[in-house]
Structure 1
Amino acid sequence: MGNSGLSQHIETAKKTGVLRVSGSLNDFPPGFLQLEGSLRTLDLSDNKFVTLPNDISRFMQLKHLNLNKNKLTKIPDCIGALTKLETFNICHNNLTSLPRTITNLINLKQVFLSDNHIKDFPTVFCGLKHLDVLDLSRNEIRCVPSDINGLNVSELNLNQNQISDLSYQIVYCPRLKTLRLEENCLQINAISPRLLKESKISNLSLEGNLFEMKQLMNIDGYEAYMERYTAVKKKLF
C-alpha cells in the first residue's frame, strides 16, 4: 500500500477508531502515532512484523488487536500497558513464549495463539478473571501444569500439541466447560477419574490420542461426565 493509501486509512481511523492495514509492513507506518488516543481496533494481520515496536504501548484505548499471520518471534514486555484489551489474535507467528506482563491485561476475553511454537503452557493467563476463550492449538506444548487451576476460561483449545501429561488440577478450573485435547500424546492413564467426576467440563474432545475412545467408558466417572454432556445437548435443542 502506498503512502497516500496509508494516509487515507489513518485519516479514516481518526473518525472510526478502527485501522486495518495488510501487506508488507514490518514497522508502524508514518503518521500512525496520531491515533494513540483514539484507536480501539488495530488489525495488522498479513504483514511481516518480526518484532512489535515498543510504541504499541502508547495505544492505551485499544480493545482489539489482530497480529495474525506475521513473523513475530516475541511480544514486548510493554504490551502490559494495553489494559483495556479484550481480544488478542497472534495466530500464525513464530512465538515460543509470552511476556509475564500479559498478567496486566485484566480485561482480556478472548486470546488466539494457534500455529506458533510455544513449548510451555503459558500460565500468564491464569488469574485473568474475564478471559473466556484461550486457543493454544497447533503449538508444541508437552505438559498441562498444576498451575492450570487458576485459569478462568470456559473454553480451552489444546488440539494438536504434544501433551502427554495433564495435571488433575485442571478439575479446579472454575468455569471450564469445553476442553479440546485432540491429536496429542495422551495415554488413557493420563485421564484422571476426577476430571470426569468432579469438573464442570461437559464437552471433552480427546480423539487422536494414544488410546481408543471406547477405553474412556471404563474410567470411573464416565457416567457423571455423560450426564453433563447430555444435559448441555438437551439445552441446545
Structure 2
Amino acid sequence: MGNSALKAHLETAQKTGVFQLTGKGLSEFPEDLQKLASNLRTIDLSSNKIEILTPVIGKFSVLKSLSLNNNKLTALPEELCKLKRLDTLHLNGNHLRQLPAGFGQLSALKTLSLSGNRLRTVPTQLCSLRHLDVVDLSKNQIQSVPDAVGELQAIELNLNQNQISQISVQISHCPRLKVLRLEENCLELSMLPQSILSDSQISLLAVEGNLFEIKKLRELEGYDKYMERFTATKKKFA
C-alpha cells in the first residue's frame, strides 16, 4: 500500500478519531499511527497479515474499540492491558494460544471476541473483568471449563465448536450469565452439571451437536426450572 494512501487515511482519522484499514495486506501495525495515539477511539485493521501487535498499542489512551480479526497474531503484548477505556476487542481468526497475564486490567471491556484461535482453556483473566457482557471463545481448542469460571461476570458465553468434555459445576454460580452456548463439543450428558438447569441464571442453554440426544436433556431433574426461565425470557422479548 502506497504512502500517499496511508497518509490520506491518517488525515481522515485525525478528524474522525476512527482509523480503518482492512484487507490491505499489511504485515505490521502502521508505525505512523503513533502520531494519533492521543485521539484515536477506534482502530480496525482486520483482514491483514499482521503477525505482531507492537507494545506501542499501550499509548492509545482513549481507544475504545480495537479490531484485528483475521490476521496472524500469535501473542498479545502486556502493553495492551494499559487501555483503560477499551470496551470492545475483536481478535477472531488469529493464532492466539493465551492472553497476557495482565488482561484482567482492561477494566472497561464489555465485548470480547476470540473465535477461531488456538486457546486450550477459558482464560482465567476474564474473571477479573467486572463489566464484561459478551465473550466469544467459539472455534478454539478448549477441552474443559475450569472452576474459576464461577467468577465470570459475562451475560453471554459462546463456547461452540470446541473440544469440551468437562465443565466445572461452578459455572452455575456465574451471577449474570443468561446465555451459554456449548454446541458441537464432546460433552456426555453426565458431564453437564445439573445445577445449570436447576440452580443458575441461565435462560438459554444451547447444547446441540454433543454426544447425547437433546430429548435426554429434557428428562433431567431441574429441566422444568430451566424451562421456566427460558419461557419468562422469551415472553419478555416477545
Other-structure match for 1:102 = 103
Write the mapping of 1:218-237 to structure 2, written as runs, cut at 5 A.
218-237=219-238
> 1:196 maps to what in 2?
197
The answer for the alignment partner of 2:150 in structure 1 is 149
TM-score calculated relative to the size of structure 1 = 0.98
For 2:176, the equivalent position in structure 1 comes to 175
**What per-residue deviation string (whole Å, max 9, x for no partner) do you get for residues 103-155 of structure 1?**
11000000000001111211111021110000000000000000001100000
> Counterparts in 2 of 1:1-237, with a 5 A limit?
1-22=1-22, 23-237=24-238
Superposed CA RMSD? 0.9
**Paired residue secondary structure (1:148):** helix
Q: 1:36 to 1:45 in 2, by over 3 A?
A: same
Q: Which runs of 5+ in 2 are unaligned?
A: none
Q: What is the Cα deviation at residue 30 of structure 1?
A: 4.6
TM-score by length of 2: 0.98
**Contact 2:153–2:174 (8 Å) recurs in 1:** yes
Aligned residues: 237
Deviation string 1:35-68 (CA, Å, 9 cap, x unpaired) is: 0110000001011111111111111110000000
Q: Counterparts of 2:14 and 2:76 in 1: how far apart (Å)?
A: 26
1:31: how far off?
2.4
State the SS of the aligned residue for 1:218: coil
Of stretches 30-39 and 181-190 in structure 1, the one that deviates more from structure 2 is: 30-39
User: 2: CA distance between counterparts of 1:225 and 1:32?
Assistant: 49
Q: Percent identity?
A: 49
Question: CA distance change for structure 1 residues 180 and 58 in 2, over 3 Å: closer, same or farther?
Answer: same
